[in-house]
């Protein structure tokens, strides 16, 4: 049996949310120790919602932690072990953003303003009166579910737009803007905690020749191959970015100059080995790199750190390409 049965094709007269046949029922956690109230609420809501029942706040809290699909909480106040107010406080003080924003409707008696006011102070979104009126319950549940769903959709859309704004469309690495944003945050942390921070700047050798000889689509293939190598060979805390046409940068927190140099040499060797075929003919692919480190170079910003790496990249190019350079004299360059 499916965990989420599909919506009925025909909506009831109370349903203010247009149903889609392919969508699962929204899930409501009903927290109530009275079987009579459970039966009434179930009868009113079962046409458009799937109810998950908890007998008290303690059981409800366990369900909320285990079930990521709860869309709304409908809770009584007076219950054993953990009452409705205590549950509400736990929800609003949770470390989970999902739980903090979960709509909570509290059921109170008509003449009990104390419970109602306390529920609002503790973060309730709304309340319904007991004895429960069907029209009132449906109206309040529909409104808060629809509002919460809209907010979630907006948050997902915003997250998607932010990700797109920070991503290079060809390689799917971070773009220049995102690299500098991450760089300033990491540099601030390195200053505060007196930790290492290194930058690796990489430029594809003779990239224009690849484009001119084989076309831009082959050049794009080369760039995506390098991006794949960078992604594979870096850690989750590192930032790999394409910051120019054929120019890439790596931000390496907690990495000193020696560690960055070792990684750079591994990347250089992997790129050289990557060579691919065009019309049966091998196309050589190499890169030159410059390395700069916050603890070893006097810099005040991520821009200055990148400038140092760029200066060393130029030295690596001058020395013959397909190599790395870790200082301004070029004496510590590594070559193939």
Q: Among 299, 293, 287, 296, which residue's Cα sits nearest to residue 324?
A: 287
Q: What is the Rg, in whole angstroms, of the alpha carbon atoms belonging to the chain?
A: 30
What's the rounded Cα separation, in Å, for the pair 238 and 236?
A: 6
Sheet holding 70-75, edge to edge: 50-54, 27-31, 70-75, 104-109, 126-130
- What number of H helices and E strands is found in the chain? 11, 13
**Angle, helices 207-214/216-233, rounded to nearest 10 degrees:** 140
Cis status, amide bond into 131, omega within 30 of 0:
yes
* 246 catalytic per annotation: yes
Three-class SS of residue 107? Answer: strand
Q: Kindly write down the DSSP assignment for every residue of 190-242, as one continuous string.
A: HHHHT--EEEEEEEETTHHHHHHHH-HHHHHHHHHHHHHHHHHHS-TTSEEEE
* Residue from 235, 232, 334, 241 nearest 291 by CA: 334
Helix (H) or strand (E) holding 278: strand 276-278
User: Directed axis angle between helix 57-66 and helix 84-92, to 10°?
Assistant: 30
- Residue of 32, 59, 182, 246 marked catalytic: 246
Active site residues: 246
């Amino acid at each position: 049996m499916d965990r989420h049965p599909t919506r009925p094709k025909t909506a009831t007269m109370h349903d203010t949310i247009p149903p889609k046949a392919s969508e699962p029922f929204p899930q409501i956690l009903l927290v109530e120790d009275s079987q009579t109230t459970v039966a009434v609420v179930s009868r009113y809501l079962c046409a458009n919602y799937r109810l998950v029942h908890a007998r008290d706040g303690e059981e409800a809290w366990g369900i909320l932690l285990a079930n990521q699909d709860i869309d709304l909480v409908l809770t009584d106040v007076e219950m054993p072990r953990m009452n409705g107010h205590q549950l509400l406080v736990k929800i609003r003080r949770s470390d989970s953003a999902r739980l903090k924003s979960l709509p909570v409707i509290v059921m109170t008696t008509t003449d009990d303003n104390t419970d109602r006011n306390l529920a609002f102070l503790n973060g309730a979104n709304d309340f319904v009166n007991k004895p429960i009126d069907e029209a009132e319950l449906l109206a309040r549940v529909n409104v808060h579910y629809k509002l919460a769903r809209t907010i979630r959709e907006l948050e997902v859309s915003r997250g998607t737009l932010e990700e797109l704004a920070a991503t290079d469309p060809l390689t799917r690495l971070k773009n220049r803007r995102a690299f500098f944003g991450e760089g300033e945050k990491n540099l601030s942390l390195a200053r505060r905690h007196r930790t290492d921070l290194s930058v690796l700047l990489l430029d594809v050798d003779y990239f224009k020749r690849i484009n001119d000889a084989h076309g831009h689509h082959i050049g794009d293939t080369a760039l995506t191959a390098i991006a794949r190598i960078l992604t594979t060979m870096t850690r989750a805390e590192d930032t790999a970015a394409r910051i120019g046409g054929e120019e890439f940068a790596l931000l390496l927190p907690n990495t000193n100059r020696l560690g960055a140099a070792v990684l750079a040499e591994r990347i250089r060797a992997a790129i050289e080995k990557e060579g691919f075929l065009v019309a049966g003919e091998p196309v050589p692919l190499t890169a030159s790199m410059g390395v700069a480190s916050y603890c070893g170079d006097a810099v005040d910003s991520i821009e200055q750190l990148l400038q140092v790496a760029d200066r060393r990249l130029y030295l690596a190019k001058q020395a013959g390409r397909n190599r790395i350079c870790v200082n301004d004299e070029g004496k510590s360059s590594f070559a193939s």
